[in-house]
């Protein structure tokens, strides 16, 4: 049994190593020659070119770390930017006698954890809306029931005579003073009042709302 189990275990171990290398992208191979250490040390001395190369070169590693921890792509990219800001701020803490990769990776891990924790604090007050395209199209806070009611209202308004519709829009929806509504619609103030009153009465009747008065 051990004769067959042993090679299988070695194969599994080799596979794991390969997977890890793929997971963090080609940056692993690049870092292996120690280029990052030199660039980071040069950046501490103010070498902007080395710094630019380093940050661009380690971007795949930062993205791999962020995406492993954060499922949402936009959020993960924000975590990458947090990491870049932190790297910039903490440049003085790098010790050139040590490899750069663990220093960079530790900062990236920390920023991702920090972002997840902040998100965790607010997520209790949020609902996922990924699968509800209709909700996204509607204004915030509108429920299905509200949408049915508002469609009925729109249809009822559309059925009103033109003058009543105009009066309702200017006097009630745009909330203009009667004089201005009169100037814009070409109707007299009295006619506007009558048209608005009739429009509301018609709508109440159509939508089944009892008139209190």
Helix boundaries (H) for the chain:
2-23, 27-32, 35-44, 48-69, 73-89, 100-123, 133-137, 144-158, 162-168, 178-185, 189-206
Cβ distance to another protein smaller for residue 7 or 102: 102
Site map for another protein, 45-64, x if CB under 8 A?
Answer: xxxxx-xx--xx--x-----
In sequence order, the 6+-apart residues with CB closer than 8 A to the CB of 43 are: 50, 51, 54, 91
**44 lies in the binding site for another protein (CB under 8 A):** yes
**Is position 70 an interface residue for another protein (rule: CB under 8 A)?**
no
Among 16, 22, 81, 188, the residue binding another protein under the rule CB under 8 A is 81
In the three-class reduction of DSSP (H, G, I as helix; E, B as strand; rest coil), residue 90 is classed as: coil
Site string for another protein, 124-163 (x = CB under 8 A): ----------------------------------------
Q: From the CB of 111, what's the least distance to another protein, in Å?
A: 7
Q: How far is CA 86 from the centre of its chain?
A: 22
Interface stretch with another protein, choices 15-23, 25-33, 39-47, 194-202 (CB under 8 A): 39-47
Q: Which of 7, 102, 141, 186 is in the footprint of another protein by CB under 8 A?
A: 102
List phi, psi (to 5°) of 148. -60, -45
Residues contacting 174, CB < 8 A, separation 6+? 181
Total residues contacting another protein by CB under 8 A comes to 39
Smaller CB separation from another protein, 77 or 197: 77
Dihedral sign of CA atoms 93, 99, 100, 103 in order:
negative
Instruction: Output the CA–CA distances (angstroms, integers) from residue 138 to 75, 83, 118, 135, 152, in the order listed.
Output: 24, 36, 28, 5, 16
Q: How far is the CB of 90 from another protein (least distance, A)?
A: 6
Q: Which of 94, 166, 192, 196 binds another protein (CB under 8 A)?
A: 94
**Among 37, 43, 61, 170, contact with another protein (rule: CB under 8 A):** 43
202 in Cβ contact with 164 (< 8 Å): yes
Residue 120 near another protein by CB under 8 A: no
Stretch that binds another protein, among 4-12, 90-98, 176-184, 190-198 (CB under 8 A): 90-98
* Member of 30, 38, 77, 176 binding another protein (CB under 8 A): 77
Residues 6+ away with beta carbon under 8 Å from 132: none
């Amino acid at each position: 049994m051990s004769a067959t189990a042993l090679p299988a275990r070695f194969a599994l171990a080799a596979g794991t190593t390969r997977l890890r290398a793929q997971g963090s992208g080609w940056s692993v191979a690049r870092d292996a020659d120690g280029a990052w250490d030199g660039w980071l040390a040069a950046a501490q001395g103010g070498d902007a070119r080395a710094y630019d190369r380093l940050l661009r070169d380690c971007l795949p590693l930062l993205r791999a770390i962020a995406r492993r921890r954060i499922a949402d792509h936009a959020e993960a990219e924000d975590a990458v930017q947090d990491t870049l800001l932190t790297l910039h701020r903490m440049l003085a803490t790098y010790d050139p006698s040590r490899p750069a990769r663990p220093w960079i990776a530790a900062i990236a891990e920390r920023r991702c954890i920090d972002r997840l924790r902040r998100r965790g604090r607010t997520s209790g007050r949020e609902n996922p809306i990924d699968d509800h395209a209709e909700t996204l199209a509607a204004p915030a806070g509108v429920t299905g029931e509200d949408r049915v009611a508002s469609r009925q209202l729109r249809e009822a308004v559309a059925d009103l005579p033109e003058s009543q519709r105009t009066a309702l829009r200017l006097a009630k929806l745009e909330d203009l003073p009667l004089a201005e509504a009169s100037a814009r619609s070409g109707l007299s103030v009295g006619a506007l009042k009558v048209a608005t009153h009739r429009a509301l009465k018609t709508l109440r009747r159509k939508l089944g709302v009892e008139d209190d008065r």
